Amino acid sequence: MRRLSRWLLLGEWRAHPVRALVAIAAIAVGISLGFAIHLINAAAFNEFSAAIKGLSGVADIQVRGTEPFFDEQIYPALAQRDGVAVASPVLEFDASVPGERTALKIIATDAFRAAYISPELVGVPAGDDIGDTLSDDAVFLSAAARQWLQPKDNAITLQVGTSRLALRVGGAVPGARAGQRLAIMDIGAAQWRFEKLGQLSRIDLKLRDGINREVFKTQLEKDLQSQYPGRFRVNQPNDQEQNSRNEGMSRAYRVNLTVLALVALFTGAFLVFSTQALSVIRRRSQFALLRVLGLDRHRLLRQILIEGLCLGVAGSAIGIAAGYGMAAAALHFMGADLGAGFFSGVRPEVHFTPVAAAIYFALGVAVALLGCAAPALDAARAKPAVALKSGTEEAAISRLARAWPSLVCMALAALLSQAPPVFELPLFGYLSIALLLIGAIGLMPRLAAIVFRYAHQRWSATTAGRPGASAVMTLTLSRLANASSQAGIALGGVLSSFSLMVAMAIMVASFRVSLDDWLQHVLPADIYVSTASGGATAGLRPEEQAAVAALPGVASADFLRTRPVSLDAGRPSVTLMARNIDAADPGRSLAIVGDARTPTPGAPPPVWVSEAMVDLYNMKPGARIELPLNGKPHAFTVAGVWRDYARPTGTIQMRLSDYRAITGEQEASGVALTLKPGAKPEATLAALKRLPFATALDASEPSEIRAMSMRVFDRSFAITYLLEAIAIVIGLFGVAATFSAQTLARAKEFGMLRHVGVTRKQVLAILAIEGGSLTGLGIVTGFVLGWVISLILVFVVNPQSFHWTMQLHMPWPLLASVAGLLLAAAALTALLAGRQSLSGGPIRAVREDW
């Protein structure tokens, strides 16, 4: 039996190697993409978490502010608190680097106290002068920071406000991890040099032996909340809240990439199904003969499952190996974030994870077995006496065309598409897409029967009594109308590949067009001026703001101030933006979603929140919220919701006058200049360059900002474009493999047609028309299904994943191009396979029936 099994398997692969290779390749592509994305993100997240843990050292408790900085007056009380062995003050901020779009993270500490808690945050002097550790002009750079900044004469230049600050490189930070751009300074020097006197970012606490950390944390939280309500966060370094906050930054991005990668695996599953189904149909009489000669149905079922198992094992093994290689190459050439920017500042190395490899391997094998399960069961159940006769193939697979399971799948898909997210992930949305695909593929035989029977009836009615009617068209439509189950298998291959490609193309195009429209709406000014592209230490002082506003040709200057605020210990900080907003008409400067509310007299000042704030914090229009500003919470009224594609963690905008009245801060991060009618931007930009502090300014026109933003978008979606291209390629190969298998399985049918007088040229014409007709119907159906799936992606998956909405956009040129490629591939494959089927002569083709 083993020899027979091996003979059957190898004989089938030798007879049709390309079809088996296509099925193996489809599984391998899906497994390799999914495994590679898992390895990349696991390596990046683990390295990112390790880098954060290194900055925390061995601290037992950390006290942070809900604002970026808080008054250092609280430090003595914490340092002298019962149970505290050492308290280490830390000032942490992103320093602006002139001419760079990224910032240098500076961590300033008291070296004597940090040595007990976080020795990684103590710089090592390059020479023997230990005094550099406390020097007011020395900075210690990590290896990655030194490589990036390339200090000249052992000095670097940073930006404070609009001024330049030169610091001497005193040594290295050996405790920093690979790729971590980090600088260490003395805390007193940093407070003075960067104008942050009396401010801290956090306080690390090392407790005495025997102190229960959980009890200490709970009591400290209670005491701080009673004395300073809403001002401080108390956590244990790398506890569940902090890990969930770090992990949540990229979770939706990682899950979406993984699901898109598994799209290829789903297509591979159907290719296995179509390959095995048509192979079983072609060998139906052979299997029946084996049954007559003594092979029981269980052994036959096992034989066909072994064929699918071999496809799955080969594809999964290749996919695991290729996935590891892809992950290593991507980390080397694209970085840890695949262009999305979640894990900047780390340089991870890929590590092979046996558990994940085993899971993905098992997934590939399971997909292959599921793909061949239905054909295997049908072959095992077939009665040998019936199966030995030709012409029973259609009846053999007719049970696969039952409509009720498909209708149930589609009904469930409609219900699940309306379900809420689970763990802030659109799991039900993805499940509804899978059910839609399964249901639609299951309905294809019924749809093919309805369409082609109608076409056959119309053709027969039109050509009745016409002696010159085309026999080729009559035979083609008759075949398609009466062999709908086999046509449905071919249609399913087109449907699965084309619909998924359509859905992905519509989703990406919709996002890209919506982003471009959003940029046009939120960039209404003529010139945008910023003090630095990255970092938080640059800014415009009041006198400098006045100078910019007085530039020739400027009609109005809208100054902007941004800062992070923490609203939830388990989530990343949200961005607070203060600018000039007309409360009566906020839609002039904000992409308002829904209706905006005008504040009522006596109500708290208005703020406008992004869509993410509604999903994450339930900040709906009209709600009263509190924001931590100037050391205590202040009440505001949500006056509207606006669309923000730049910050998925949430953004709050408020009037600049309200912000300055509460905080007393007068600096601005940037300014948007609206010119007078007739004024030329070139003249204003020239005047801007003549200002004394012009070298610290970065001026751009809206078109430049839009072009840069679209480049960032394309880089972030580079992996999505790659997945879309792979889906197209798999779809083309799938169509080719399906039509090739179906054509070769009909060799006896073509031989009989040759016997009754149909010429070789006419048979090839029949095949070409069949291929074009089936592919055309598959494209039309696939477009409708892809459009429905894109609605779920655009209006369910994306809002639940990234908390923003977008408009639907159809990329007609791309869809038309791919549809044309599929039509050409189907017709060409049918012709080539037909030539092979007709090469043996009509007598040889039908000899089994004699």
Q: CA 101, CA 538: separation in Å to the nearest integer?
A: 12
Indicate the length of the chain as a whole number. 850
Task: Point out the least confidently predicted range of 273-277, 477-481, 538-542, 842-846.
Answer: 842-846
Within 13 A of 491's CA, how many CA atoms are on the CB side?
A: 34
Query: What phi and psi, each to the nearest 5 degrees, are found at residue 68?
Result: -60, -35
Name the residue with higher pLDDT: 191 or 280: 191
Task: Please give the C-alpha separations between residue 769 and each of 463, 492, 595, 773, 821, in angstroms, as whole numbers.
Answer: 18, 18, 54, 6, 16
* Distance between CA atoms of residues 150 and 665, nearest Å: 34
Q: Give residue 45's pLDDT.
A: 72
Q: What is the mean pLDDT of residues 1-25?
A: 75
| 847 pLDDT above the threshold of 80 | no
How far is it between the farthest Cα atoms of the chain?
Answer: 108
Q: What is the rounded CA–CA span in Å between residue 288 and residue 257? A: 45
Nearest C-alpha neighbor of 305 from the set 378, 361, 398 = 378
Any idea which residue has 């590590």 for tokens? 351
Structure confidence by residue, pLDDT tens digits, 295-321: 788 888 888 888 888 888 999 999 999
**Tell me: the pLDDT tens digits for 328-337?**
888 877 665 5
DSSP of 772-802: HHHHHHHHHHHHHHHHHHHHHIIIIIHHHHH
- What ranges in 382-470 are assigned the alpha helix state H? 384-387, 393-396, 404-416, 427-463
List C-alpha distances in Å: 246 to 501, 569, 714: 32, 11, 25
SS3 86: strand
Residues 512, 824, 265, 330: is their CA dihedral positive or negative? negative
Q: How many CB atoms lie within 10 A of CB 86?
A: 19
On the question of pLDDT at 839 being above 70, the answer is no
Q: What is the mean pLDDT of the chain?
A: 84
Tell me the pLDDT band of 848, cut-offs 50, 70 and 90: very low
What is the predicted pLDDT for the residue at 723?
A: 67
DSSP class per residue in 202-222: EEEEEEPTT--HHHHHHHHHH
Q: At what angle do helices 240-282 and 484-522 cross, to 10 degrees?
A: 150
Say what the pLDDT of residue 738 is.
65
Choose the most confident range, by mean pLDDT, from 126-130, 398-402, 754-758, 843-847: 754-758
Q: Contact 767/830 with Cβ under 8 angstroms?
A: yes
CA distance 41 to 246: 13
Instruction: Assess whether pLDDT exceeds 50 at residue 118.
Output: yes
Residue 840 banded pLDDT, cuts 50, 70, 90? low
Q: Which pLDDT score is estimated for 400?
A: 57
Where is pLDDT greater, at 397 or 153?
153
Torsion angle (degrees, nearest 10) of CA 708, 714, 717, 723: -170
pLDDT at position 755 is 77
**C-alpha angle 587/653/573, rounded to 5°?**
140
What per-residue confidence (pLDDT) applies to 850?
Answer: 37
pLDDT at position 613: 95
Q: How confident is the model at residue 212 (pLDDT cuts 50, 70, 90)?
A: very high
Number of H helices, E strands in the chain: 28, 22
Average pLDDT over residues 576-588: 92
CA atoms of 789 and 775, how far apart (whole Å): 20
Q: Buried b / exposed e across 257-270, counting CB within 10 Å, b at 16+?
A: bebbbbbbbbbbbb
pLDDT of res. 547: 95
Q: Identify the CA nearest to 442 among candidates 388, 479, 496, 389.
A: 496
Q: Report the 10 Å Cβ neighbour count for 399.
A: 12
pLDDT digits (tens, 9 = 90+) for 690-735: 999 998 898 999 999 999 889 888 877 776 777 667 766 766 666 6
* pLDDT higher at 594 or 220: 220
Nearest CA among 634, 511, 785 for reference residue 231 = 634
pLDDT tens sequence across 384-421? 766 656 555 555 555 555 788 899 999 999 999 999 99
Q: Kindly report the CA angle at 768 between 763 and 774, in degrees rounded to 5?
A: 120
What pLDDT does 486 receive?
Answer: 64
Please tell me the predicted confidence (pLDDT) of residue 610. Answer: 96
Q: What is the pLDDT of residues 761-813, one digit of tens each?
A: 888 888 888 878 888 888 899 999 999 999 999 999 989 988 889 999 999 99
> What is the pTM for the complete model shown?
0.85
Task: Specify the range with the lowest mean pLDDT, choosing from 259-268, 453-462, 621-630.
Answer: 259-268
Decide if pLDDT at 499 tops 50. yes
Please tell me the distance from the alpha carbon of residue 170 to that of residue 191, in angstroms, as a whole number. 18
Task: Please tell me the least confidently modeled range out of 284-288, 509-513, 627-631.
Answer: 284-288
Residues 612-635: what's their mean pLDDT? 93
Average pLDDT over residues 506-518: 93
Strand 202-207 vs strand 84-95: parallel, antiparallel, or unpaired?
antiparallel
pLDDT for 343? 58
Q: What percent of the chain has pLDDT over 70?
A: 85
The C-alpha atoms of residue 142 and residue 687 are separated, in whole angstroms, by: 40
pLDDT tens digits, residue range 329-367?
888 776 655 555 555 556 777 888 899 899 989 988 988
What tokens appear for 720 in the block?
């999505």
Q: Is the confidence at residue 457, as pLDDT, over 50?
A: yes
Would you state the pLDDT for residue 92?
A: 94
* Range with lowest mean pLDDT among 269-278, 434-443, 569-578, 646-655: 269-278
Average pLDDT of 254-281? Answer: 70
